[in-house]
A and B are shown apart, each in its own frame.
Chain A
Amino acid sequence: MISLISPVKTRFHDVPAGPKLLVLCFFTAVLFSADSAATHVSAVAVVGLLYILSGSRFLIAGLRALIPLWPFLAVIAAWHSFTGTLVSGFEIAAKLLAAVGLANFVTMTTRLDDLLGFVQRLTSPFRKSRQGLSGLDLAVALVVRFTPTLARKGQALTLAWKARSTRQPNWRIVVPFTLTAIDDAEKVAEAIRARSRG
């Protein structure tokens, strides 16, 4: 199962998705509306404490999840060094670190089906029948099932290209790759119809 949930179970895993998301919304709103550096630094400290309380393995996984943020922080540092406003750059970096840190924390401590259940409850007033819910469930299951399959097929297409040509694979490989996705979709639709689903 592809998911970013932490392999280490913490006490926060038992908290339902709804309250966690509510706290995240409130925390992010306060963070983005606050102007003081003290608020932003305190927020980083609180989020850091949550990770530390969840154990060293969780902390390492959390730090790894923050890697995509570093390029942004580097750009902010470079920009504010250039404009001579390093304190302001530090505040923005602290705000981003706290917001992304807590959002990742919620992702890491909430199971995919709990989050999906929350989305379904949230969207249920907009749905006319329960059939819609099963449509979303089915779509999610199909994406989880077919992402690795299509990735493997894409790699096989790349290898086939390399075996036949001395040139590097280019955009033309996207055409058979797209057709592979469409063909697989037709087969899946056929299989769903055969099982009288939908």
Chain B
Amino acid sequence: MKTMQKFSERDIALVSLFTAFVAALGLVPTVMLASGVPITAQSLGIMLCGTVLGSIRGFAAAGLFVLLVALGLPLLAGGRGGLGLFVTPSAGFLIGFPFAAFAIGWIVENTKSVGPFWATAGASIAGGVVLLYIPGIFGMAFAIEKSLAEAAVLALPFVPGDILKAVLAGLVTSSLLRMRPESVISRRI
């Protein structure tokens, strides 16, 4: 995998600005679900990191976001940040963000023969819902001492919202491809 020193100035700027973009999306009003994790447009931002920037840059942008949250920047929705978040029941989702972005980007890069909407929405469901929920459910089960099945039940209310966000990620990325194809790096690789 490429590391930061192999990134060009443009790559570093894109990765950083996408991290800032994900943080800015957290300022959109949130909806709190039963298990206490807020629904925000930030997970849509993580999906867009993968669909727009591709696997490596998407991983770097989402990874930088998680690193800065860990270092104490209040970048998560509601001005949250700090190491404390990594021992809460939603820690698994947070840690899973870079891997979800990588998986989404990888799928988009490798499905160029598929239509842009179906490729990006499908990739967002696979990476941003299916894959992301694996560490999410494990983290929740570990933090609140529940079985994986019980944790999965607690995580279930998020699934419809996240599928909706995956569809939105597909719509946004296909709109970008129509309006300005060169801006979607994942389809140029």
Contacts and interface: CB of A to CB of B under 8 A. Distances in A.
Interface of A: 2-5, 24, 28, 32, 65-66, 68-72, 74-76, 79, 88, 92, 96, 99-101, 103-104, 106-108, 110, 112, 115-116, 119, 126-129, 131-132, 135-136, 138-140, 142-144, 146-147, 149-151, 153-155, 171-172, 174-175, 177-179, 181-182, 184-186, 188-189, 192-193, 197-198
Interface residues of B, number: 65
Contacts of B84: 65-66, 69, 99-101, 103-104, 107
A80 B79 CA distance: 29
A89 to B, nearest CB: 9
Contacts of A101: 84
A107 B79 CA distance: 14
Contacts of A24: 83
Interface of B: 3-5, 7-10, 12-21, 23-25, 27-28, 32, 34-37, 41, 44, 48, 52, 64-65, 67-68, 71-75, 78, 80-89, 142-146, 154, 168, 171-172, 175-176, 179-180, 183
Contact of A142 (B12, B35, B71, B176): B12
Given A140-B64, A178-B172, 6 more contacts: A126-B3, A138-B12, A154-B24, A154-B28, A171-B168, A185-B14
Interface of B is mostly: helix
Going nearest first, the 4 A-B pairs with the smallest beta carbon separation are A71-B36, A132-B5, A107-B82, A142-B16
A182 B21 CA distance: 9
A175 B177 CA distance: 10
A45 B129 CA distance: 38
A99 B27 CA distance: 27
